Structure formats: structure tokens, C-alpha cells
Copies of this chain bind each other. A is one copy, B any other.
């Protein structure tokens, strides 16, 4: 059984940094934005478009499993979006079967459930996320704390809806994960080392 680590994460919690460090420590593959690039390659859609679909509200869409009516078959946008979701699932399965890896986001914990991945959820207190976002992104400098917090919540709300739409489960519900990690008071480096030892 390959070592697969999936990471769900709140925006601004440091989940990507944690994932990258775990992958480096374990010397295994790391997938995050690469997934979008590869789907774009496979579907002949632009990266921007794939990213837009993945980050948009899926509430207007129907799950892939829902039977299609004639009307739906006529809607090329919905068809295209569903194609992106399907392609994502296939790609994530392919990547996980190919080699040990860390996959951030994309409902990978659910898509790979048959392979029993080690499922992390990374979160933090509000103040910590605000601080982290300020440090990371110079372009957010003109935001007030209130605006930045609204942005953080919007991203997470979209992630929660996307996850719910895709999996039928609740994003961030502890029962969907093996470990939920609060990065507010602990160093990401030390957390990565502890997880590496646990999984490795």
C-alpha cells in the first residue's frame, strides 16, 4: 500500500507549507497547483478556466452521479464543468497509484478513500490566519483586517461547498480526518517532522 497523505486546509492556516515540508521530509511527490495544470493539458482548457471552475460555487452544478436529462446534455458549460470534475478524480487516482505522495485540497481524501490515505486537516485561529495572509501576500496590503477576513471566509466557504458537493460529507468534520492540526501555536517545521515520523 503506497503512502498517501491528503491535506484539507483552511485558507491562511499554512496547510500547503506543511504539505510541502512533509513531502520533502519523506522524499515523496507533492501535488497542489500541478493538478490544475495537468487537467488543463488534458482537457484543452486554459489553466485559468480550470482554476475558475474549481474555485467557483458548485451549487449551480449537479453531481456527476446524477442522471442527465436531455436539457442538461444541451448545456455545454455544465458539461465542461463536469468533465473537469471527472478528470480531476481520474488524475488524482492515477497520481496516487503511481507513487507515494502528498496531495493538497481537491477532495483527495474522499477520492482516494479506497487507498486509505492518511488524512490531515489543517486549521488555525482567526488572528493567526490574518497574520499569515498579511505576511504571504503583498498584494493584500491594501485590505483592512475586516476585508481580509471576509476574503478568507469566502475562500473557505467555497471550499466547504465544493467538498460537500463532491463528497456528500462535511468539510472540516473531524471524523473525515485522521489528524486535525491547529497551526496557531506550533511551528510548521516541527509539525511536519512529527507527522513524517508518524507516517514514515
Contact = CB atoms under 8 A, between A and B. Distances in A.
Contacts of A179: 179-182
B198 A194 contact: yes
Given A123-B174, A179-B182, A194-B198, 14 more contacts: A116-B185, A125-B175, A174-B174, A174-B180, A174-B182, A175-B182, A177-B180, A179-B179, A179-B180, A179-B181, A193-B198, A194-B194, A194-B197, A197-B197
A173 to B, nearest CB: 10
Contacts of A180: 174, 177, 179-180
Contacts of A41: none
Given A125-B175, A175-B123, A190 B182 contact: no
A123 B175 CA distance: 8
Contacts of A174: 123, 172, 174, 180, 182
Contact of A185 (B178, B190, B195): B178
A191 interface: yes
Contacts of A194: 194-195, 197-198
A163 to B, nearest CB: 16
A175 B185 CA distance: 12
Interface in A156-187: 172, 174-175, 177-182, 184-186
A198 B123 CA distance: 17
Nearest to A186: B178
Interface in A42-61: none
A22 to B, nearest CB: 13
